Structure 1
Amino acid sequence: MRPGKWCGLAAVIALTATACGSGGGTRATGADGGPPGRDGFPVRVADCKGVETTFTAPPRKIVTSNAAALEMLLRLGAGDRVIGTGFPPGRGTLPGGLGARAAKVPVLGKAVIPKEKLLGSGADLYIDTFAAMGGMGGMGGAGDAPTDEEFKAAGIRHVYLASTACAPMAKGPQRDLSGVEGDLTRLGAVTGTAPRARELVAGMRAKVAAVHKAVADVPEAERPRYFFFDFDAGTKQPMAVCGKQVANAVITQAGARNVFGDCDGDFTPVSWEDVVAKNPDWIQLAVRDRGDAAANAKAFDQAAQFLTSFPATKGLAAVRNERFLRIGSEPTTIAGTRNADTVEEIAHTLYPARFKGGR
């Protein structure tokens, strides 16, 4: 399940030259197509459609569209250059000092950043997490997304995260974390933090490789059926994670089968009848971080209570046997290094006997 699955897409959005196949990964090239200079610049980045942007030096003022790109920059050590974000991480979403640093970043929009505010931010780089086919419109801001010409006039370069914005354009589902790894690699090259990016990617790969080794002999057909229950999306109609959402890659890499992995796109509303028909073996109680351990525990309890009392689901074997995973929504659905941690957590829960000492 290593990097070939994303090779076709990575070749489109990579730093011009992408190494696909054995070894995987991406590398930067100079503006003339040769190797970058000794300081790593210039580098070229192509978007989901192949349009290239050249960086002759690291950006100094960055705006991120949401918490995914913000967290990546914080982990890369480039957080001091972020001058604003949309969709900020909730209180407690990011651990320790990371959360404290994120809290200092000005919020330009609690949801999609208004176009005028983004264009007037003074940024020299905007990192877009939303579907490239519709720009910010992918998150409900259709008609209010800056055009390429407006970005250029404002002096703002515009790049996308492959694992989120470009995923809808991919031919197939996300089944591994190479899209996330590529994003970290590209952002590391662009911001001049490539060594740190390599460390983060290596750490992710080591965790996932250990899981692969432990579950490698489990046939695909015998891997547990897994339902991601997005409790905070509402209980009247469940919201399923589909194949092109990064959560599908997390679930797959953990040795499970996303019961809605065959639906196209990232998220889609389904019915409780659909969930019952899928008959999952395990259910993730995916609640969003409340910023407090007690509040989180209460939310997990409420999600479990709903499933055990709701007529449509209380008869499911997974519910009767309380095969629940209390894992937050953010580290599963938001692209970043914590995806690998979630792979570990899911695998250790589903296959405890295969890991020495458990988690």
Structure 2
Amino acid sequence: MRVLTALLSLLSLSAVAVACGHRESAAGQTSGAASAVHSTAYPLTIENCGVKVTFDGPPRRAVSLYQASTEILLSLGLADRMVGTSTWFDPVLPELAADNATVPRLADNDPGLETVLAAEPDLVASASAHTFTAAVVADRSRFAQLGIPTYQSPSVCAGAKVDGESVTRTERLSFDTLYREIRELAQIFDVQQRGQDLIERLTRRLDDIPSTTAPDVSVAFWFSGLRTPYLAGCCSAPGLYATELGLGNVFADAREDWPEVSWEALADRNPDVLVLGDLSRGRVDGDALESKVAFLESNPVTANMAAVRNKHYVVLTGSELDAGIREVDAVVKMAAGLKAFGLAQ
């Protein structure tokens, strides 16, 4: 495991490079954010993932049912207006830890509807496709019947079709989707200046990274699962990372965010690099990094893949494989790994 330890240490460095594609998006968003900031006029009605939602005033008792949503709300300085969180994959971002400690955790995974209602929320937000389903927490229509507004991350529905837990996309995610979510939440809570400042911080980080590309390098993204792995398709957050770095996602022909594939299919496509999710939640076999590496190197189907033979593993947290404010961190880490492997220009 000395190789993995060294790699993990290397990936923590931030002086790395990514492709120039993000700059055009980031620059456009920054100039848009520079416009005058106005207070929210209530009642505010927005159309969110096909649902019209009205807010009579800024929420005071928000519940966030997914880590990515929680970290955006905390980044907007809204801990004092949050009364619950759930569905955690990893420890919260260090800079948000103090604020997060003041917000009750309703559940590590998905809470029941009764648990959510007991928190008396005036907003329920989630960045997950499956949260707002009767099988998990409740449909958005059920919350509406109870007089509770809901907010679904645009990353779930932008150019996408949601069927239960499955998301199939017709277009790729972009950083613009993240910026839109930040702007909308800032408007809902009437903290537009904070939203503008957060977007500018993210775009500055992207702009400060020198350009680098990795042409003719193929990659696969493994989220979890040992029996049948969940590997990223074309158009979710990992697809965005591959595009930014000029990588070829070996499952770019899959429109589903995280299709289940066979090990034989992965070995047949033989990626140069494997991005491995290290999920601290420990909910299923294959969540932890160690279990992934042990499986890859001991399974005869995968042991001879180029990425495994060369130990070309880039490690991301589970949250970095999701759409959210960690998208920037993910691109930085991937670029560091590619440079360490000698695969980036």
CA gap of 1:145–1:4, structure 2 versus 1, over 3 A, is: farther
String of CA shifts for 1:284-319, please: whole Å, max 9, x gaps: 22211379xxxxxxx544432322222111111221
Paired with 2:229 and 2:241, the residues of 1 have a C-alpha distance of 20
In structure 2, the residue matched to 1:47 is 48
Paired with 1:175 and 1:258, the residues of 2 have a C-alpha distance of 14
2:312 to 303, 312, 323: 323
How many pairs does the alignment contain?
A: 312
Contact conserved, 1:62 with 1:82, CA < 8 A, in 2?
yes
- RMSD (Å) for aligned C-alpha atoms: 3.5
Displacement after TM superposition at 1:89 (Å): 5.0
In structure 2, the residue matched to 1:343 is 331
1:265 to 240, 256, 270: 256
Paired with 1:171 and 1:290, the residues of 2 have a C-alpha distance of 27
String of CA shifts for 1:67-109, please: whole Å, max 9, x gaps: 111111011101221111231454xx22335234324422334
CA gap of 1:166–1:59, structure 2 versus 1, over 3 A, is: same
In structure 2, the residue matched to 1:115 is 113
Unaligned regions of 5+ residues in structure 2, if any? 1-20, 162-167, 283-287
CA gap of 1:354–1:257, structure 2 versus 1, over 3 A, is: closer
Displacement after TM superposition at 1:157 (Å): 1.0
- Percent identity at matched positions? 25
Paired with 1:355 and 1:281, the residues of 2 have a C-alpha distance of 12
In structure 2, the residue matched to 1:13 is none
Q: TM-score, normalised by structure 1?
A: 0.74
2:278 to 264, 287, 290: 287
Contact conserved, 1:242 with 1:262, CA < 8 A, in 2?
yes
Letter in structure 2 aligned against 1:349 = G
CA gap of 1:182–1:347, structure 2 versus 1, over 3 A, is: same
In structure 2, the residue matched to 1:197 is 195
Letter in structure 1 aligned against 2:62 = I
Q: Does 1:275 align with 2:266?
A: yes
Contact conserved, 2:126 with 2:153, CA < 8 A, in 1?
yes
Contact conserved, 2:231 with 2:258, CA < 8 A, in 1?
yes
CA gap of 1:348–1:144, structure 2 versus 1, over 3 A, is: closer
String of CA shifts for 1:181-238, please: whole Å, max 9, x gaps: 21111111111222222222223223334557333xx6xxx342111123xx332221
Larger RCO (CA under 8 A, 6+ residues apart): 2
In structure 1, the residue matched to 2:74 is 74
Displacement after TM superposition at 1:22 (Å): 8.9
Paired with 1:154 and 1:26, the residues of 2 have a C-alpha distance of 40
Paired with 2:22 and 2:32, the residues of 1 have a C-alpha distance of 17
> Per the alignment, in what secondary structure is the counterpart of residue 214 of structure 1?
coil
Paired with 2:31 and 2:172, the residues of 1 have a C-alpha distance of 18
CA gap of 1:203–1:262, structure 2 versus 1, over 3 A, is: farther
In structure 2, the residue matched to 1:17 is none
Contact conserved, 1:251 with 1:257, CA < 8 A, in 2?
yes
Displacement after TM superposition at 1:348 (Å): 2.7
In structure 2, the residue matched to 1:178 is 176
Letter in structure 1 aligned against 2:114 = E
Contact conserved, 1:120 with 1:154, CA < 8 A, in 2?
no
> Per the alignment, in what secondary structure is the counterpart of residue 327 of structure 1?
strand
**1:203-282 alignment, distance < 5 Å:** 203-210=201-208, 213-215=211-213, 222-230=215-223, 233-282=224-273
Unaligned regions of 5+ residues in structure 1, if any? 6-20, 29-34, 292-298
